[in-house]
Amino acid sequence: MASSTQEINGAELNKKIYYYIDYLAEYAVQVHNQQQNAHLSFIKVVKVTIEPVVGADVLYYITLEACNLGVQQLIYEAQVCVKGSTGYIELKNFQHVVGVLKDEEITKKIDLITEGINDAKISKNSTDSTVIQFAEFAVQKYNSMKQFHLVFVEVVNARIQQTFDSELYYITLEANHIYEEKKLLYDAIVWSKDLENRPSPLLELVGFKRVV
């Protein structure tokens, strides 16, 4: 039997499955948190595509909104499989799918993160290993979001802003396209938070744009 795909958006969700899809979305977030030692909180379902597959199994492609440590609201895509014979639920995939924020959205996010905090920024050495690591992360994340092919070259300068429980890294870096030799300047903003029982900090790319 040929499989069919049905897409349902926001308010169009059938009331009979609305709560079940919410349940699957929450399940996906919980499993992701356990697997990646993450701290996401489910907010709402944005869109879901339901695809019956061989063996009476059903795949749910769920686009959802989640909050990262109570600070950043981000969009994720989860692929959840429900076994038709047993009802067993399995998270197949979970990934962040939103592109880099627009300028006004970046300002809003930074204002939220740094509310009530001194906006002083401390200069960091451009050869600092942490700064280089975060700059490379920014390029890799941007490439993943935009299907781009930038290659990190070096950090030009960097500043850090302390918040109550995290840090914002403002990094100007050089990168070039994989098929070109010309180096271009980019400004990246990386949010970093140290967590217990996690060897490396939690990172999120807040902003990334070319310096004109």
Residue 180 within a domain = yes
Residue 105: the pLDDT is: 55
Q: Give me 204's structure tokens.
A: 């999120």
Number of H helices, E strands in the chain: 3, 10
Question: In terms of domains, do 116 and 204 share one?
Answer: yes
Secondary element (H or E) of residue 25: helix 15-36
Residue 1: the pLDDT is: 39
Q: For the segment 131-178, what is each residue's pLDDT rounded down to a tens digit? A: 999 999 999 988 887 778 889 999 999 999 887 778 889 999 999 987
Residue 29: the pLDDT is: 95
Looking up residue 133, the CATH number of its domain turns out to be: 3.10.450.10
- The C-alpha atoms of residue 167 and residue 203 are separated, in whole angstroms, by 10
Neighbours of 120 (CB within 10 A): 9
Give me the DSSP letters along 143-158. Answer: HHHHT--EEEEEEEEE
Residue 3: the pLDDT is: 42
- The C-alpha atoms of residue 7 and residue 18 are separated, in whole angstroms, by 13
Residue 2: the pLDDT is: 43
DSSP 40: E
Secondary element (H or E) of residue 67: strand 58-68
Q: Which residue type, as a one-letter code, is found at position 103?
A: D
Question: In terms of domains, do 204 and 114 share one?
Answer: yes
Tally of CA atoms within 13 A in the half-sphere of 130 that contains its CB = 18
Question: Can you give the residue range of the structural domain that contains 163?
Answer: 103-210
Question: In terms of domains, do 161 and 67 share one?
Answer: no
Question: In terms of domains, do 107 and 204 share one?
Answer: yes
Question: In terms of domains, do 175 and 77 share one?
Answer: no
Residue 107 Cα to chain centre, angstroms: 18
Rg (C-alpha) for the chain, rounded Å, is: 20
Q: Domain tally for the chain?
A: 2
Question: In terms of domains, do 89 and 121 share one?
Answer: no
Residue at token pair 């935009």? 146
In tens digits, what is the pLDDT along the chain, a chain of 212 residues? Answer: 344 444 545 554 455 577 888 999 999 999 999 988 888 889 888 888 888 887 778 899 998 888 876 655 677 889 999 987 788 999 998 887 755 555 555 555 556 555 555 555 678 888 899 999 999 999 998 888 777 888 999 999 999 988 777 888 999 999 998 777 788 899 999 988 887 777 888 888 888 888 86
- Domain boundary among the residues 45, 73, 96 is at 96
Q: What is the pTM of this model?
A: 0.52
